[in-house]
Amino acid sequence: MSWPTQDELHEIRKIVSEMAGKGTEDVRVVVSPYRICPLGAHVDHQGGIISAMTINKGILLGFVPSGSTEVALRSGQFKGEVRFRVNENHKSRQTISKGEEINADKSSPSPDEFEWGIYARGALYALQSRGNHLAQGIIGYICGSEGLDSSGLSSSAALTALETANGLTVSPTENIEYDRVIENEYLGLRNGILDQSAILLSSHGCLTYMNCKTTEHKLIRPPKFLEDQEAEPQKG
């Protein structure tokens, strides 16, 4: 079954339209698929060789530009609402954990949205830390595929939405690096680049090959006999 379905897209556009007071035709949807990893699931952070393929399940982020610097996000799976401004100076979680004082602008997340909303704040941090000026926030709603909906907001989706709202042109390889900044610098995780590479580089029906040390990558199509087999009608 193809994903996302038209019903899913219609529903998320309707919700964002009601949140923002705008027409459904103004709502854009970022599609961030989940992935499988036949090779290299735990070697990407060591610069190893990985392979990955996206599946027909994932996270949808519907959004519109907010018309101001404010970001407001809600989730279909988690309570709480993420609110911050793109002109705030966001510190890394590592800096905050070391005891530095947090300003009264409330730039730190509340307990309710710490888990699922932290990647949106991380996306702003990554873009700011690499010299991008953001003046436009977003109003958005995220929803994960049923049964696989416990992972919160995709950092790739958050980056794409903020970039689109602010008219930034960013390549997939640049966003892979921004994702790394979110996870390694902002959150202090020791992740590699497997997840974001699979999301940003994959193509339908292809296996993505990547050298995580050099970032060299290519798409590998299935053998022709498998394509022919898939195209042949099944006999009853």
- What residues act catalytically? 195
- Strand partners for 33: 58
The token pair that represents 50 in the structure block:
């990985």
CB contact set of 150 (below 8 Å; sequence gap of 6+) = 77, 144
Angle between helix axes 155-165 and 172-180 (nearest 10 degrees) is 120
Angle between helix axes 194-201 and 155-165 (nearest 10 degrees) is 50
Query: Tokens 């060789």 label which residue?
Result: 49
d(CA 151, CA 119): 11
The token pair that represents 229 in the structure block:
């087999």
- Residue 13 host element (H or E): helix 6-20
Query: Tokens 């290299």 label which residue?
Result: 40
d(CA 103, CA 89): 9
Whether residue 69 contacts residue 86, with contact meaning beta carbons closer than 8 Å, is answered with: yes
- Residue 220 host element (H or E): strand 217-220
